[in-house]
Amino acid sequence: MPDRLSTALQDKLSKRLSYYDDIGIRSFYRDRFFARAAPVLEQAPVSIPNPQEEPLPKTSPKPVLPPAASITVPVTPKVSVLPIAPKVSLFDALNKVADDSLLKIREDLGECTRCKLHTTRNKIVFGDGSAKADLVFVGEGPGRDEDAQGLPFVGRAGKLLTQMIEAMGLQRKDVYICNVVKCRPPENRLPEPDEIKTCSPYLLRQLDAIDPKVIVCLGACSAQTLLETNRGISHFRGQWLDFRGRKLMATYHPAYLLRNPAAKADVWKDLQKVMAVLGLEVKKGKSAGTQNPS
């Protein structure tokens, strides 16, 4: 009968079996003494490795690759390209009408109710003078007398304008006179922006139909409307300016001259420049009272 296992070996084996039992490995366990009594059931001995003593498999160390070259990719910033809104002129939307005439414009205007001024007007003041004039005077709007008669510049300021025209060697029938708005603003106030926007396209059609050589703006309102500026008239009075290929001169309104007679001399200088462009003779022998209309 073979020798029994030593106590130390039994203790070691017992601990090993307890370890595998704890981790759930039990199928390899056989009683050796039972195997000796029944050799038919004997199986090949099972080799149980010691996990604490079994050497770990040798693995090749991972090759250390050199760091990849740093490549800087330029990032193109996103630029939001906004469409540039074109400057919209007050008159851009109005195309020139072929074979337009003052009569057709007046018919198109009709008994206008396009802005609030129609609620207080008496008569529409369209314009007056020659349809083939080389010189057009543009005021701001009709006054009380103009509203009553339906004609531009027939009150006190109108009489002064007539004297100015005659001092130039012309008659009212030789020029054309009109206003930015065709209806009288209440209490002779300045036309408001919405009223100007509504009515001024008809003024533009009048200017295109007449096609004058020179346009004289009487006062700040008409000059600011045609030049599309909010600058005061003192910034450009007496200077030649361009309006759609035509010469434009801005000067003081006759109503202003009635309140400030000293400014008549400045207006007369402006009108002399107009006369030179139109080829009108400036008569040196005229009296000071005529050269500076009163």
Domain containing residue 272: CATH number: 3.40.470.10
**Cα atoms in the Cβ-side hemisphere of radius 13 Å centred on 154:** 14
Helix (H, G, I), strand (E, B) or coil at 101: coil
Q: What pLDDT does 95 receive?
A: 59
**Is the residue at 68 inside a domain?**
no
**Is the residue at 63 inside a domain?**
no
Name the nearest CA neighbour of 216 among 235, 237, 200, 195: 237
What is the H or E stretch that residue 14 is in? helix 7-22
Residue 32 and residue 119 share a domain: no
List the single range of 79-83, 204-208, 222-226, 234-238 with lowest mean pLDDT. Answer: 79-83
CB-count exposure of residue 266 (10 Å: 0-12, 13-18, 19+) = middle
Q: What pLDDT does 141 receive?
A: 98
Q: What pLDDT does 86 receive?
A: 46
Q: Which of the four pLDDT bands, split at 50, 70 and 90, describes residue 67? A: low
Residue 29 and residue 109 share a domain: no
Number of structural domains in the chain: 2
Q: What pLDDT does 60 receive?
A: 54
Q: What pLDDT does 80 receive?
A: 42
**Is the residue at 75 inside a domain?**
no
Dump the DSSP string for 143-191: -HHHHHHT-SS-SHHHHHHHHHHHHTT--GGGSEEEESSSSPPGGGPPP
**Is the residue at 224 inside a domain?**
yes
Residue 37 and residue 122 share a domain: no
Residue 208 and residue 139 share a domain: yes
Structure-model confidence comparison of residues 261 and 78, the more confident one:
261
Residue 264 and residue 140 share a domain: yes
Residue 15 and residue 149 share a domain: no
For the chain, percent of residues with pLDDT exceeding 90: 62
Tell me how far apart the alpha carbons of residues 130 and 146 are, in angstroms, rounded to a whole number: 18
**Is the residue at 214 inside a domain?**
yes
Residue 217 and residue 143 share a domain: yes
Residue 157 and residue 19 share a domain: no
- What's the rounded mean pLDDT across residues 276-280? 97
Q: What pLDDT does 92 receive?
A: 53
Residue with structure tokens 């200088």?
A: 269
Q: What pLDDT does 18 receive?
A: 74
Q: What is the pLDDT of residues 9-63, one digit of tens each?
A: 778 777 777 766 676 666 654 555 444 544 444 445 545 455 454 455 555 555 5
Domain that holds residue 17: 7-41
Residue 218 and residue 130 share a domain: yes
Q: What pLDDT does 10 receive?
A: 79
**Is the residue at 288 inside a domain?**
no
Structure-model confidence comparison of residues 207 and 62, the more confident one:
207
